[in-house]
Structure formats: structure tokens, C-alpha cells
Amino acid sequence: MTRSQSHFSRPMRRNSAPLALLLTLLLSACASTGTNTSTDTSTAASSDRRLQSRSWNGSTAQSVVAKVGAATGNGDASPLRLEDSLNPGIAVDLTQAAAKEDLWLRLRTGFAMQDLDNDLVHKAENWYSSRPDYVARMTERGSRYLYHIIEEVEKRGMPTELALLPFIESAFNPQAMSTAQASGMWQFVPATGRDFDLKQNIFRDDRRDVLASTRAALDYLVRLNKKFGNWQLALAAYNWGQGNVQRAIDRNLKAGLPTDFENLRMPEETRYYVPKLQAVKNIVISPEKFGLRLPEMDNHPYFLSVNIDRDMDVDVAARLAGMSVEEFKQFNPQMNKPVMLAAKTTQVLLPYDNASAFAVNLAAHRGPLASWTAWVVPKTMKSADAAKQVGMPEAQLLDVNKIPPRMLVKQGSTLLVPRAAHREDDVSEHLADNASLALAPDVPPLQKRSLRAGKNDSVASVAARYRVNAAQLAQWNNVDARARFKPGQSIVLYAANAASQKADAGAGKTSSSSSSSSSRKAASSKAGGVRTAQTNRGNDKAAKPARSSKPVGRSITAAVDANKNGGDTGGFRQVSHR
């Protein structure tokens, strides 16, 4: 989406009158019994359009709770209250003088980290100053979230420079994903995300959740600063891993060398990490010095958190909020499926004007809110059989559940399926929290075979004869993939029955086979013939990094479509040190 198309870049003017009018309309709408819903909705929409004329000027993100109950059969809903989620019990008043102050000034006032001044800082400054369009996109995107982050930083007594860290990590793109599988605005890898209670399953990935990931990232930085006693070293550990930084410190101590950031031996990416943050800080202090302009930001929230208490389709929520699905997902990027589960997704983020429309339209809504639910597979089955059992096309089941073709769905897996008369309840909290999807290749069972090598047999020739992978055959027999077998040497392989029989017939050889369950298990573990595939990266145990020293911060290396994902994901190409 380009800036001209963006929902949040509409020109607006300062005017508190529509806010008061809108609140009056909302309160009356939420208290109504639904007898005049079409009038209420159209009036709210008109008021909503007037509210869009308020001057937000790219103002930043702060969660504000709009407490709205789901519509009941007669249209009743709980009263609406706008409240700062970081200051519960205090009603939001955007007409106060403090809300109109300059947020950049507030940010600068809290700078407290030791400054760096070296060639790498100057290199980063030159990089940013030579790309004003990139800086404009990055700061405009960041302006949605900075208010919330600054509030969180100040509550912890942290230097406000740390609120700028997502500029370095992801260019403030909540949907960013690195080659190291680090995700979200703060770039959490799966294991560290789990350490900080960021749920990752088939329904959601909280590493992309704006509020949850900010809480986790700042908690982690506080922990790192407590360990190293220095924010620069804490940032190095955020990027490189605390175990790596500690070992670098220990090396310098042993050698009698200083242990500050600039004197530690570290990878180039980490060496450049703090200087880039310093460069961004310098630009925020004096943008005109670098020929750059920062977007105006007022000292008040950009979006609201709207409570939901029933499962709801994403497209239904977007329609109620008067947004496209793509816009809705920009504010709620943690959603992995086309339905939000109230058991764990208790609130959604919406721009202020859309949140108000959502409140009124939800109160007036008739009919189901969700067309999807979760189904636990009772036994291992083919995807076609699973689709037939739940009454949906196989292609749709594969697509919505991200299942590759020719895979078995293993017993106990959770699938997203259409609601039906016997499947109409909301998904339970236990299932929403623990859902997983395990798959296995839908291939003939493999059998272990013991062969005797012929005069000219090699790994390549035997692999070709039995239609198996040469590298796997070499691994099964603890030989090099280019090796030749000695005549009469015993060869072990795992192959499907049909392929084995055909190869035996063509080669004129005899072989022994075992059809025992233990042999099939051996084939599974050695040949990869039967494997469990977690569709959620955060549950992929095979790729799970050690928790003791792996970093949260990861660099973005893949280009992101600016129109689709909101722009760039980072200023520099960096290499993961995993």
C-alpha cells in the first residue's frame, strides 16, 4: 500500500468536537436494543468520517481499551469506555494540552545512553542521509508505534533511545521475517519468544503482536542490562546472544584488555549494531543537520485496543471496522488464520476512527460472527479423508491449514474447518493455546534391506538401482557418497516394497527383508520416510536453537514488497550469526 492509498495518511485537522459527538453516539448505540440499528450505524459512519478530519499527523501507537461486549440476540452490548491500557482506570482525553505536545521532544528528553562517535556511526549517518525516501517511510511507519513504546520504556526507567531499536531491527515492520526465522517488529527468534511468553502456534504468532512483543523485548533488554551493567553491551547481547557477549568479555579479561563494547571482538553485524542506533539517535536530535525531515507526531495514542468476547472471522471484523482485510492485518499481524479465537485473542488493534465504527456495527450485527472452528483429528488420515469428514473441499482444507500435497495428517492434530451444526461452539482456551499440526509423507511403507555388493557396485549405482537418495544411502552405511563398495560387502538400505522388488528383479540379486514394525521405525528415523512436520516455525524442534546464548535481535535480509508489507525492513544487509 502506498502512502497515498494508506488508511492512516488521510489528511485531518484538529477538532475535538467530533470526538464528543462520537462518544455520545457510541454510548447511545451500545445501550440501544437494536430497534433502529440502520440509523445508528449510518449516523456513526457519518460521525466516523468527520472524526477522520482530526489531525493525527502520523501520531503513534498506544493501546487504548475500548471495552465493547459482543452483540447479543437482542442487540445489547456493554457500555463503551475509552481507557489507556498502560494507565487503567483513567479515561482518555485527547483534547488535553499534553496530547498536542511534540512526541519527538519527549523522546529526545529521555536520551540517557553513552554516546558513540566513530567511523561506523558516521557510515550509518551517511547511509540514512543519502536515502531520505527510505527514512520517510521508516519514520512514518514507526510513528504508529512510538507513543506506546515510549510509554513502556519510561515506565521501566529505561533510556528512550531504546524506543528507536525497531528502526534497526525491522524498520518498524511488524510482519518482518528474517532468514534466521526471527519475526516481528522486535525480531524474536522462536526459542527466545517462548522464553518471554510469546505464544506461537497454528492460530497466532505473538512475536508479531505489537503490544506483546514490545513488552517482551523491553523485559529482555532490562534483563540483559542487569547482567552486563551496560546498555551498549546489553544491545550487543540482544543482537549476538548473551552467551557470545559473555565469552567475549571473558576473553578480554583473561588477556588483560578492556571489556567495553568498542574493545570486544565480535562479528561485523554486531559491531555495526550500536553505531546504527547512535546514527538514528543523532538524526532524531537534529534531522536538519542531515538534510532529513521527521513526520510530526503528537503525544497521544494512534490506535485503540477493542475487546472481543466471541470467536470472529478476520473478514467480519474488518468489515465491521470499515477496513479492508489487508489494512486490518497491518494492525493485527499476529493472526495466522482467517478466524480470531476469543479464548486467546481477547482484543484487536484498530485506528481510533475504525474502532469507533467497530463498536457501533458490532452492537448492530445480526448473524454469526465466525464461520470457522477447530477440529482435532481423531486418527491419522489422508487429507482427502479429513476433508470429506468435515465437509469441505480437499483443496480448501490444504490451503487454509497450510498443508503440502501428499501428506498424512497425524492423530491429535488441529485443523481449521467450517462450523457446522455439531461444531458451532467457540474454540476452548486449552485448544487455542496448545493447537499443533503434525504431518507425515503419504508414501508406501519403507523396509530395511540387507544386500551384498556386486563387483562394480558403488553408492551411486546402488542408489540408482533402488531409487533412493545417494546421500542417504551413504549415511545409512557410514561411507562417503562417492564411495565404491567392496564385492560381497554388506549394504543396508531402506526402500518401498515395489521399488525394491523391481530393483531385485532387474539386478538378479537376492535380498532379505524385514517387515517388522521396528524396521519401519528405523526407516523413519534414518531415511526420513516418516517425519513429523510442524507447520508453525516456532514449534519446529529440529530447528530450535539453544536458549542459553541465542539472541533475539535478527537482521532482515529479504526484500519486502513495500506496497504489501508497508515498506522496507531494514537499512543494511546483515548476516545472521546463528
Task: For residues 267 and 238, give the distance between their C-alpha atoms in angstroms, rounded to a whole number.
Answer: 13
Which set of grid coordinates corresponds to residue 134? 527510505
Burial (Cβ within 10 Å: 0-12, 13-18, ≥19) of residue 576: middle
Name the 3-class secondary structure at 82.
Answer: strand
**CA distances from residue 426 to 206, 221, 379, 397, 525 in whole angstroms, order as listed:** 21, 37, 23, 19, 38
To which H or E segment does residue 407 belong?
A: strand 407-409
Name the 3-class secondary structure at 113.
Answer: coil
Of the candidates 417, 399, 401, the residue with the CA atom closest to the CA atom of residue 409: 401
Of the candidates 507, 559, 523, the residue with the CA atom closest to the CA atom of residue 449: 523
Active site residue 288: no
Rounded to the nearest 5 degrees, what angle is found at the Cα of 231, between the Cα atoms of 210 and 546? 65
Asked if residue 210 lies in contact with residue 144, where contact means CB atoms within 8 angstroms, the answer is no
Q: Are strands 64-66 and 533-534 parallel, antiparallel or unpaired?
A: unpaired
Q: What is the DSSP letter of 57?
A: T
Neighbours of 326 (CB within 10 A): 12
Which set of grid coordinates corresponds to residue 190? 522462536
Which set of grid coordinates corresponds to residue 119? 567511523
Task: For residues 211 and 216, give the distance between their C-alpha atoms in angstroms, rounded to a whole number.
Answer: 9
Neighbours of 399 (CB within 10 A): 10
- Residue 505 CA to chain centroid, in angstroms? 52
Asked if residue 314 lies in contact with residue 325, where contact means CB atoms within 8 angstroms, the answer is yes
Q: Which of 140, 152, 161, 169 is labelled catalytic? A: 169
Active-site positions read: 169
